[in-house]
Chains A and B, each alone.
Chain A
């Protein structure tokens, strides 16, 4: 199976109060198309950092990352934005939605950036919101929705552009266990039905249990 994500000898060093803090060290990782994988590990293990590097939200200090055939090194901020828009769907732990837009508009937003025509945009957004069980919540703004509902809107938005990969950073962290489980089940269904690649960063046992592949990190290194 072709490799969708290729992480080669990636090191990430942050500077905190002028002191270097190593978040990742010589990480090598390959993820194939269609995988449902989780980056697991305790807090500070570097799983979120790795997810952000793969998602072109940050640049490695050393090493190279290729995602969907695109080497992310030396791309301008604008090109990185364009890359994220076309290739990646994001679901974050919290604060996932634009507060002044309704659920439907939030899902439509990346499609607007992609200049998808109105009819198709609406159809896609409505279909996705129905699929995540929010067909009757489309006009609500994030402030009027529960955390679980907001996460489901974020999932719809992440899928709206039909990205090659969906990255989710601790997607269940702010949800109760039942809502969290149903969200992961939804991801799994979408993965199986649409063949979309999913990569999570999580230390939630429920998420790890449901993953097809578990990549364990400790102290910035992949241990299994």
Chain B
């Protein structure tokens, strides 16, 4: 084995230029795959974080019917047992009770259809909602008649901080309900739908307006990122099958279930990466195949001699496969090193995508993407690059092993 390893190493250094070109193909192919995957993983992670922090949280507990995020006509009736359950689970870092309603918001000059989102600011801190205040300030616990709205909505309503808005909706009993609120601030979430169509009130204000008593629409959950989200959600589901005194059975939905389009898009992106990977691998494997074929054809006489003096066909296969493995492994190691280096650097400084931001603002990736190393994919790419090149090497190796010693030694060149 050792002699074949030594022979393989010396053989790949024979034609340095050709080996270098092949090595470069493996190196840059793998490095670009690792970087591309790192970029997509970084963008996806930012997107999920921004969307869960802005829209869905990690998971939500909702009454039946509210798995449709546009439906607002159901309530959690008796939340106390649920609160106790959530407080007792250490994997749940925080939860926020939210009232959601549909209605119309009006200023002195304009009106528009909107969502009402009503929150408890202290609870919301525990789930980490992110809204950037553009004008004014956030809601405070004593803002009983205060409201914040999306900055874009403010522009449509043509109002300023301190102006009045009226929110009109249907209350719990079906009657028309409306109240005037003072605009205390405007925010920007990065999502057009939210910034154009959300009025933010205190939960207590909404419960008063809609005659809800202690009822609210849903609970947003912040789950420890070190935990398996699906497992936590399944555990909660098993507890909520027959919730004691909590009224109708509740549902626990992950962000993926709440916005299936997002997870579908991520799966699509992952699929695209695989297609790119196949293209890159095909190019790299073709390079390796070409190098090995040229190298084995050039050494036909040498293989003939080796077999004439007692080298077995399987040892010839081993030699050629080792040459490929060495070439690929060195290229792959360099590729991994360069790929990781690029991802770490770009992950530190970020990649500015502000030029394209309007194209995907609703995906909430942000204007700067910070790639991250995706170890699973890195290992997968590494295995596939080395594995596919090992398979590709089998053909020239098999060809070399099938040579008739004496015929091979008669070859010219």
Using a CB–CB cutoff of 8 Å, the interface residues on chain A facing chain B are 52, 55, 57-58, 77-78, 81-82, 84-86, 90, 92, 95-101, 109-110, 112-114, 157, 161
Give the residue of B3, B10, B404, B405 whose beta carbon is less than 8 angstroms from that of A109.
B3
B315 at the interface (CB under 8 A from A): yes
Assess the B309–A57 pair: CB atoms within 8 A: no
Assess the A96–B406 pair: CB atoms within 8 A: no
If A78-B313, A84-B310 touch, whether A96 touches B305 (CB-CB below 8 Å) is yes
Assess the B7–A81 pair: CB atoms within 8 A: no
Assess the B315–A98 pair: CB atoms within 8 A: no
Report Cα–Cα, A157/B312, bound state, in Å.
Answer: 17
Report Cα–Cα, A112/B313, bound state, in Å.
Answer: 16
- List of 3 A-B pairs having minimum Cβ-Cβ separation, nearest first: A85-B310, A100-B10, A57-B406
In the complex formed, the residue of B with least CB distance to A112 is B3
B311, chain A: closest CB distance, angstroms: 6
A-B contact pairs, 12 of them (CB 8 A): A57-B405, A77-B312, A81-B313, A84-B308, A85-B309, A90-B308, A92-B308, A92-B409, A98-B302, A98-B306, A110-B309, A113-B315
User: Looking at B11, B311, B405, which has the most chain A CB atoms within 10 Å of its CB?
Assistant: B405
Assess the B11–A157 pair: CB atoms within 8 A: no
**Residues of A contacting B309 with CB < 8 Å?**
84-85, 90, 109-110, 157
Report Cα–Cα, A99/B301, bound state, in Å.
Answer: 11
If A100-B11, A101-B7, A112-B3 touch, whether A81 touches B312 (CB-CB below 8 Å) is yes
Query: Can you list, as one digit per residue, whether each of B302-338 has a CB less than 8 Å from chain A (1) or not (0)?
Result: 1001111111111100000000000000000000000
B14 at the interface (CB under 8 A from A): yes
Give the residue of A82, A96, A100 whose beta carbon is less than 8 angstroms from that of B310.
A82
Report Cα–Cα, A110/B306, bound state, in Å.
Answer: 9
**Residues of B contacting A157 with CB < 8 Å?**
309
Size of B's binding interface in residues, CB under 8 A:
23
In the complex formed, the residue of B with least CB distance to A118 is B2
**Residues of B contacting A97 with CB < 8 Å?**
305
If A109-B309, A112-B3, A113-B310 touch, whether A52 touches B406 (CB-CB below 8 Å) is yes
**Residues of B contacting A85 with CB < 8 Å?**
309-310
Assess the B311–A95 pair: CB atoms within 8 A: no
Assess the B406–A82 pair: CB atoms within 8 A: no
**Residues of B contacting A58 with CB < 8 Å?**
404, 406
If A81-B312, A84-B308, A110-B310 touch, whether A100 touches B406 (CB-CB below 8 Å) is no
B407, chain A: closest CB distance, angstroms: 9
If A81-B310, A92-B305 touch, whether A100 touches B14 (CB-CB below 8 Å) is yes
B398, chain A: closest CB distance, angstroms: 13
Query: Can you list, as one digit per residue, whether each of B10-25 has a CB less than 8 Å from chain A (1) or not (0)?
Result: 1100100000000000
Assess the B10–A78 pair: CB atoms within 8 A: no
**Residues of B contacting A52 with CB < 8 Å?**
406
Report Cα–Cα, A18/B313, bound state, in Å.
Answer: 27
Report Cα–Cα, A86/B312, bound state, in Å.
Answer: 12
A63, chain B: closest CB distance, angstroms: 18
B13, chain A: closest CB distance, angstroms: 8
Assess the B308–A82 pair: CB atoms within 8 A: no
B412, chain A: closest CB distance, angstroms: 10
**Residues of A contacting B310 with CB < 8 Å?**
81-82, 84-86, 110, 113-114, 161
In the complex formed, the residue of B with least CB distance to A106 is B309
